[in-house]
Structure 1
Amino acid sequence: MINVLFVCLGNICRSPMAEAVFKHLVEKENLSGKIQVDSAATSSWHIGDSPHKGTITKLKEYNISTEGMVGRQLDKTDFEKFDYIIGMDASNVTNIREMLGQPDHPKIIRFLDLTDHKKDVPDPYYTGDFQETYDLVIEGCQALLDKVNIDQDLHR
């Protein structure tokens, strides 16, 4: 089983959006039995909270479920459990590395470094632009799924 973790600051906007979109893509590719997905926060602000209403609304537009998702904080055991730890921006990646005590491990990746954008995913909690975030998340999730398929040869 391949385990993928998306991480942002609060685990209510970007990382749950990426978790939901990636799960949706994994299901479409019939890889649910091979890939598990979760999300977490670097902060403790929204532990136990549902995704942000903007995230839920945007995902509903595309028939992508957030059912059962609740915010949680990143934990040191996550480094052992997850094969890919995806930070939504450079600050998240720095915090992940510090929190997990892994200053330069290749399993910790800035999300859009997998795409041609090579930039941070803007936080819609502050920008209010959930469509921009969704568009970037779709592109990043497809790139990540391609990477996981290549790395792991999942269609064997």
Structure 2
Amino acid sequence: MISVLFVCLGNICRSPMAEAVFRHYVREEGLDDQIRVDSAGTGDWHTGEPPHHGTRKKLDQYGISYEGIRARQVKKEDFSNFTYIIGMDNRNVENLHKLSGNSGDNVYRFVDFIPNTTYTEVPDPWYTGNFDETYELVSAGCRHLLDKIKREHHLE
């Protein structure tokens, strides 16, 4: 089974949004039995909390479920349990590489899945307040990531 872990700082804004959107796309394509999706944070401040109200509001606007999503911190075993570990910003990617030791070859930067973008990372709406911008980047990146996974793993 292919597995994807989205990672941001606290796991309440960007990465749970990406988890919900990607899970939604995976379900629409009928691939839920072939692709597992999760999210985590590099920090532990919000462990056990649901997504931020701004994230929930944006997902509700598009009819995307976030049921069952609760913040958790990245664990060492995630590096061997996930095919793709995707950091939402450069600091997350740097921290993931430090945490992984030598096994960080499955760590990616989210914006690298968005063609022709000028963004170098997904801005954190916790600080910017702009959940629209985050959603636009997340939905574009998730769509292209799913297309890449389908191509590379020959999923139908």
Matches within 5 A, 1:122-137: 122-137=123-138
After superposition, the C-alpha distances for 1:3-31 in whole angstroms (9 at most, x for unaligned) are 10000000000000000000000001110
**TM-score, reference length from structure 2:** 0.96
**CA–CA separation in structure 2 for the residues paired with 1:148 and 1:76:** 24
Cα displacement (A) at 1:147: 1.1
Report whether the alignment pairs 1:114 with 2:152: no
Matches within 5 A, 1:1-156: 1-102=1-102, 105=105, 107-115=106-114, 116-117=116-117, 119-155=120-156
**TM-score, reference length from structure 1:** 0.96
**CA–CA separation in structure 1 for the residues paired with 2:120 and 2:152:** 23
Cα displacement (A) at 1:102: 3.4
Moved over 6 A (4+): none
**CA–CA separation in structure 1 for the residues paired with 2:136 and 2:125:** 12
**CA–CA separation in structure 2 for the residues paired with 1:146 and 1:109:** 16
Structure 1: gaps (5+ residues):
none
Structure 1 stretch 24-33 or stretch 115-124: which is displaced more?
115-124
After superposition, the C-alpha distances for 1:57-84 in whole angstroms (9 at most, x for unaligned) are 0000000011111100000100110000
**CA–CA separation in structure 2 for the residues paired with 1:99 and 1:44:** 14
SS in 1 for 2:147: helix
**CA–CA separation in structure 2 for the residues paired with 1:2 and 1:65:** 21
**CA–CA separation in structure 2 for the residues paired with 1:68 and 1:82:** 19
**CA–CA separation in structure 1 for the residues paired with 2:4 and 2:104:** 18
SS in 2 for 1:86: strand
SS in 1 for 2:56: helix
SS in 2 for 1:33: coil
**CA–CA separation in structure 1 for the residues paired with 2:96 and 2:62:** 30
Q: Does the CA-based 8 Å contact 2:8-2:92 persist in structure 1?
A: yes
Q: Does the CA-based 8 Å contact 1:75-1:100 persist in structure 2?
A: no
